[in-house]
Amino acid sequence: MDYAKLWFVFWAVLWAGYFALDGFDLGVGFSGWLAADSDEERRGVFASVGPFWDGNEVWLLTAGGATFAAFPVVYAGMFSWLYPALFLILFSLIFRGVALEFRGKVQDAAWRIAWERTACVSSFLAALLFGVAFGNIFRGLEIGPAGYAGTFLGLLNPYALSTGLLFCAFFLFHGQLWLAFKAPAGAAVRAARLAGGAWYVLAALTAAFLAWSWFATGLYGNFLARKWLISLPALFAAALVLSKVLLSRGLPGKAFLASMAAIALFTLTGFAGIYPALLPSRLGPEFALTVYNSSSSPYTLRLMTAVTLVMLPVVIGYQAWVYRLFRAPLGAEELKKSGLY
């Protein structure tokens, strides 16, 4: 078995899982206030993600750990070449977490508003910066014979920024769908309306991204060479359309699941496009960091595979249990119990 290829698949699945799960609470963080019309409804918005957001970030930690163990050269390159960008993402996530936990610590309007604004800004920055990061990966980094030749400002190129906006649109739509079935009644109605409008923006940005990627990236090469891979973007498009259909029929919970599938499939489509590279190079494929030149030893990958096959079902089972336990929409009784929010 080619364990390096297998771990590329695991790596892609971990990122897909992270964006599909943490995407909705990032979206709630920066757009939830749009659906709330009172302090009580804003409390409901924050309480809706309370039991989930930190568990969702486990997928990010696992993706980072998998990169370190399975592809140490990629890990070293990312934290050497892209340190300022990763530093900004890290601090955005830290402030987002602090804001979610501290909002309800003091019963004071100014205190709550300050942390709500912190959650909004930090969640938006995290979503935008993740999109910019993956936009640069899709486009290719300035990796040459002497290593990385790019700059921090160079990462803020138009294609990467447009990908960042696409991620924000994805998470806004995803977060509003979550609120449409989880938030208290008044906020849920407004969230469903906002999600319906956001879908059209998301669809337009997705179409622009796909068209621009044809000229700015090499993502389409693998799909043209391996026709069976076209099933990934086809399923992504179907899931995106299905989410809108289900929302229009008054089924926001099922629309949320379809949106989750769409985000995961979009992420997997991107990884399928860059394979075998993990960090493609704009200066030539020979300079890219790939599964062939950056993976750990076969023994290490074999051991990691055995551990993953045991532990990953445990993590998935635990998260499934949490989502099932807190699956009911928030009502007055539940809000009383969620005093921290």
Q: What is the pLDDT of residue 245?
A: 97
Percent of the chain beyond pLDDT 90? 67
- Which tens digits make up the pLDDT trace of 146-201? 888 888 889 999 999 999 999 999 999 999 999 999 888 888 999 999 999 999 99
Q: What is the pLDDT of residue 85?
A: 87
> What are the structural domain ranges in the chain?
3-337
Per-residue pLDDT for 250 more than 80? Answer: yes
Q: What is the pLDDT of residue 305?
A: 93
Name the β-bridge partners of 289: 279
Q: What value does the mean pLDDT of the chain take?
A: 91
Per-residue pLDDT for 341 more than 60? Answer: no
Beta strand 147-148 with 143-144: parallel, antiparallel or unpaired?
Answer: antiparallel
Q: What is the pLDDT of residue 17?
A: 94
Q: What is the pLDDT of residue 338?
A: 53
Contacts of 261 (CB under 8 A, 6+ apart): 20, 235, 239
Per-residue pLDDT for 332 more than 70? Answer: no
On whether the pTM is more than 0.85, the answer is yes
Per-residue pLDDT for 337 more than 70? Answer: no
Q: What is the pLDDT of residue 53?
A: 87
The whole-number average pLDDT for the span 5-29 is 94
Per-residue pLDDT for 335 more than 80? Answer: no
Per-residue pLDDT for 7 more than 90? Answer: yes
The DSSP line for 49-113 is HTTTHHHHTHHHHHHHHHHHHH-HHHHHHHHHHSHHHHHHHHHHHHHHHHHHHHTTTS--HHHHH
Pick from 114-118, 239-243, 302-306, 332-336: least confident: 332-336
AA identity, residue 331: G
Contacts of 18 (CB under 8 A, 6+ apart): 56, 57, 59, 60, 63
C-alpha 61/C-alpha 240 separation (Å) is 27
Q: What is the pLDDT of residue 120?
A: 95
- pLDDT-derived band of residue 44, with 50, 70 and 90 as boundaries? confident
Contacts of 111 (CB under 8 A, 6+ apart): 103, 105
Specify the 3-state DSSP secondary structure of 141.
strand
Contacts of 201 (CB under 8 A, 6+ apart): 169
The whole-number average pLDDT for the span 136-144 is 93
- Which tens digits make up the pLDDT trace of 83-107? 888 899 999 999 999 998 898 888 8
Specify the 3-state DSSP secondary structure of 279.
strand
AA identity, residue 243: S
Q: What is the pLDDT of residue 54?
A: 86
User: Taking Cα atoms as reference points, which of 246, 267, 266 lies closest to residue 255?
Assistant: 246
Tokens of 46: 């924050």
279 within 8 A of 288, measured Cβ to Cβ: yes
- Which tens digits make up the pLDDT trace of 55-76? 899 899 999 999 999 999 999 9
The whole-number average pLDDT for the span 138-151 is 90
Specify the 3-state DSSP secondary structure of 148.
strand
- pLDDT-derived band of residue 334, with 50, 70 and 90 as boundaries? low
Counting Cα atoms < 13 Å in the Cβ hemisphere of 161 gives 7
* Torsion over CA: 108, 109, 111, 116 (sign): positive
Q: How far lies 305's CA from each of 69, 76, 172, in Å?
A: 11, 21, 35
C-alpha 171/C-alpha 124 separation (Å) is 9
